[in-house]
C-alpha cells in the first residue's frame, strides 16, 4: 500500500501511547512489532517517541502526563480524528453533548488539537494538521488499521458521531449483539459495539500477519492476553492485549484473499 500523504476530515489519522514507563513501553513495542523509534525533545521538557517502519511514521508515544498519573488514569492509547477546523469541531462536539477535556491548542507547527470525552465518556482526540498530518503507514502489517468504540450507550454514541463527523452507519449481527460500522464518505471509518462491563473507550487495532504468534510474543515480553485470538466473522482473527504498563490494544490478522 502506498505511503499516506493526508487524511480526509473525519478519518482516524494517528494513535499515540500515553504510558507510565516510556522506556519499558518502547522496548515492548519495538520488539513486538519490529518498529524503529525516533525520540525528540519536547519544548518545556519531556521526550516524544515516533515509531517507524522503514523510516515511515506509524504512531507515537510519550510518558504519561503527571496530572493523569496522579488522577489514577492508567496507561492508554489515544486515537486522533483528522478535522479541518479543530476549534469549530470542538464547539460542535460540545453542543452535541461532549465534554471538552482539553480545549484546542497548538502543538508547535505540527498541528492543532483538542481532547474530548464523548457523551458516553469515551475519550477521543481531534487533530487539525499542520506539517504533521498523521501516520504515513496504515492498514499494513504492524501498523494501526482499525479503531473501535466500546460504549455503554451505543444509541447515544451513534447520534453523537454521526452528527459531529457526518459519519453514516451500517448495522451488522455479531455474536454478542449488534456491531455498528461507521462510514466516512466512501471509506469505513470505525466500528462500535455495546459493552456494559467496561468503561466506554476507543480501542486501537494493529494489523499483524499472525494474531496467535503476536499474542504469544506479547505474553513472552511481559504483556497479557485479555481476549482471543478468536475468529471474527469474515473479518479475520483478533486478540485484545495489555502491554506491561497496562495499556490495552488489539491486533487483527485479516482474512487473506486466495
Structure pTM?
Answer: 0.96
pLDDT for 108: 94
Contact 77, 16 (CB under 8 A): yes
Q: Quick one: which of 122, 105, 61 has its CA closest to 247?
A: 61
| pLDDT above 70: percentage of residues in the chain | 98
User: Which CATH superfamily includes the segment(s) 144-254?
Assistant: 2,3-Dihydroxybiphenyl 1,2-Dioxygenase, domain 1 (3.10.180.10)
Percent of the chain with pLDDT over 90: 85
Q: Given a cut of 90, is residue 210 above it in pLDDT?
A: yes
Fold equal for 12-129 and 144-254: yes
28-42 CB burial, b ≥16 within 10 A, e <16 = bbeebbebeeeeeee
At 132-175, the pLDDT tens digits run 999 999 999 999 999 999 999 999 999 999 999 999 999 988 77
| Neighbour tally for 130: CB within 10 Å | 13
Q: How far is CA 129 from CA 112, 139, 201, in A?
A: 7, 20, 24
Host H or E run for residue 68: helix 66-70
Locate cell 459493552: which residue? 195
**Neighbour tally for 48: CB within 10 Å:** 17
Q: Is residue 18 within 8 Å of residue 243, measured between CB atoms?
A: no
Cβ contact 183:170 at 8 Å: yes
Which is nearest to 69 in space by CA: 258, 252, 245, 250?
245
What is the model's pLDDT at position 105?
A: 97
Cell representation of residue 8: 480526509
Q: How confident is the model at residue 2 (pLDDT cuts 50, 70, 90)?
A: low
Q: Are 39 and 25 in contact (CB under 8 A)?
A: no
Class of 12-129 in CATH? alpha beta
Q: What are the boundaries of each domain within the chain?
A: 12-129, 144-254
Mean pLDDT computed over 179-192? 96
Amino acid at each position: 500500500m502506498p505511503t499516506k500523504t493526508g487524511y480526509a476530515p473525519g478519518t482516524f489519522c494517528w494513535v499515540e501511547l500515553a504510558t507510565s514507563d516510556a522506556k519499558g513501553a518502547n522496548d515492548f513495542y519495538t520488539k513486538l512489532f519490529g518498529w524503529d523509534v525516533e525520540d525528540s525533545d519536547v519544548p518545556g521538557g519531556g521526550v516524544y517517541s515516533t515509531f517507524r517502519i522503514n523510516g515511515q511514521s506509524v504512531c507515537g508515544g510519550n510518558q504519561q502526563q503527571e496530572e493523569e498519573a496522579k488522577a489514577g488514569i492508567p496507561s492508554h492509547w489515544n486515537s486522533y480524528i483528522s478535522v479541518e477546523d479543530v476549534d469549530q469541531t470542538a464547539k460542535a462536539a460540545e453542543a452535541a453533548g461532549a465534554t471538552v477535556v482539553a480545549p484546542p491548542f497548538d502543538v508547535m507547527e505540527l498541528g492543532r488539537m483538542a481532547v474530548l470525552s464523548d457523551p458516553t465518556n469515551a475519550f477521543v482526540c481531534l487533530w487539525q494538521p499542520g506539517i504533521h498530518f498523521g501516520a504515513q503507514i496504515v492498514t499494513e502489517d504492524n501498523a494501526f488499521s482499525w479503531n473501535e468504540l466500546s460504549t455503554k450507550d451505543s444509541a447515544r454514541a451513534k447520534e453523537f458521531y454521526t452528527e459531529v463527523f457526518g459519519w453514516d452507519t451500517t448495522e451488522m449481527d455479531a455474536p454478542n449483539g449488534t456491531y455498528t460500522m461507521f462510514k466516512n464518505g466512501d471509506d469505513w471509518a470505525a466500528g462500535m459495539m455495546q459493552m456494559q462491563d467496561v468503561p466506554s473507550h476507543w480501542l486501537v487495532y494493529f494489523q499483524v500477519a499472525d494474531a496467535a504468534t503476536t499474542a504469544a510474543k506479547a505474553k513472552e515480553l511481559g504483556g497479557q492476553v485479555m481476549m482471543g485470538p478468536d475468529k471474527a466473522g469474515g473479518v479475520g482473527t483478533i486478540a485484545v492485549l495489555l502491554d506491561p504498563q497496562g495499556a490495552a490494544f488489539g491486533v487483527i490478522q485479516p482474512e487473506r484473499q486466495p
